[in-house]
Structure 1
Amino acid sequence: MNFDPRTIALVEHDFARFLARFRQRRRVRKPEGVPQHRRIHLGCGDRRVPGWLNCDVAGSEFDIDLAAGRLPFPDGSVSVVVMQHVVEHLELHGQLIPLLRELHRVCADDATLWLSCPDLAKVCAAYAVDRGQALKEDRCSRWPDYSLGGAPVQHFINDLFQARGRHRNLLDLELLDWALGQAGFLSGERIMEADLLAAHPEFPARHDDAQSLYVRACKSR
């Protein structure tokens, strides 16, 4: 029996989430099981940044299912969190807002949260201007092997919204700011990737401002 590759990928991801939850449950039972770190990089993928605790659902320094609604870190123990192109993978009410509430709990009062994701406003504007041609060219300049498989360029807009089944939501500044407010964070401030890199130059540049929304939020003033 043949399955859609997207279905296989989703099943594999859900299994990885199960394993991450199982490992986390075992770790939190041991005093030494949860690493203590002030700087947390969530959804790191293969971009491990020195000096940070790099976390993802599998294959990271500390595997976490970010959709589980619970983080293993103590209250007020984290000073800065970076999540690049993570929040769009989470369902808004059932996963993203619970994660943001957990981040609010584990963050110290002076903590800063740095987020990026595909920008809903930029994507919609790009379709109206040129069906997404400029954004597709920007993607190809960074990922030379990227292809739409011969489909017309507007299919790139579908890819941004769906990402082969991996994306749950695209967000603009207003929607992301609302979600942050639901979790108790102060208003999110639109920034550029350069602002993140100026504060934390150890992060590799993505050069993705053309399609991305970058936001900085604080727990308190």
Structure 2
Amino acid sequence: MTSLFSEAHDFSVKELRVINAASPAGDPFNDLVSQIAAGALHDSAERCDAPKYYPETRVAVQREIYSWIVHGDPDPLAAQKMVNIKWVTGPAGTGKSAIMQSVADTCKQDGILAVTFFFASYASPDRRRKTAFIPTLAYQLAQHLPALKDPVAQAIRDNPLLFKKTLRVQMEALILTPLRQVAVESKVPGVVLVDGVDECEAEQYFDSDVSPVSPRAGESNKRTNDQDQSEILEVLRKAALDPAFPF
């Protein structure tokens, strides 16, 4: 190794300080932030003109949803199933998203809103597809429960390719495992509100014009919207059934 002072003379060194200017390792949580769909949050700038109902409209529906959130299902048979999912359905154009927006605003005001994700077929790509779904949920949960931040960051550090995995793998690594590690205990319900799953478009992994040979003749490699929507619903159900998921 060549000396730092090669051929130098007529000086003396009283004190030598060497500073390593190498760039520090990246923050895994910043990697998570880069993967989220910020526009899918209920209070995002992208949704500033989202349809809203005035408080006096759709009162019965909003009260029913909020009562279920706070008090649980009044049907004892449904309560025994221990699946904390409320599915709000209705024909297109009947104002479901506006109702969900109002419910989200109320939950936020009351301090019980943990996560929101508003899918929309007319919006930015990360709100039309499933790619950013789990990272966006994980980010918001870590904001709602700060103890989750380190376990979530460690999961990304251990497997930087997590964002390319299936929703099931991402849900387990970024949400359920961190929740088990911090053992969250809360008597206050935390609300996870997902709207517009039926507007999620399928993520395509192959060029539809030049696709790999299918296992069976005539079989298409193109994913359908129903497949990705079903995948989203399945991971939500998996989370709701997990004892570590306090929402």
- Greater strand content: 1
TM-score, normalization by structure 2: 0.26
- Greater helix content: 2
TM-score, normalization by structure 1: 0.27
| Larger RCO: 1 or 2 (CA < 8 Å, sep 6+) | 2
Please say which structure displays the higher CA radius of gyration: 2
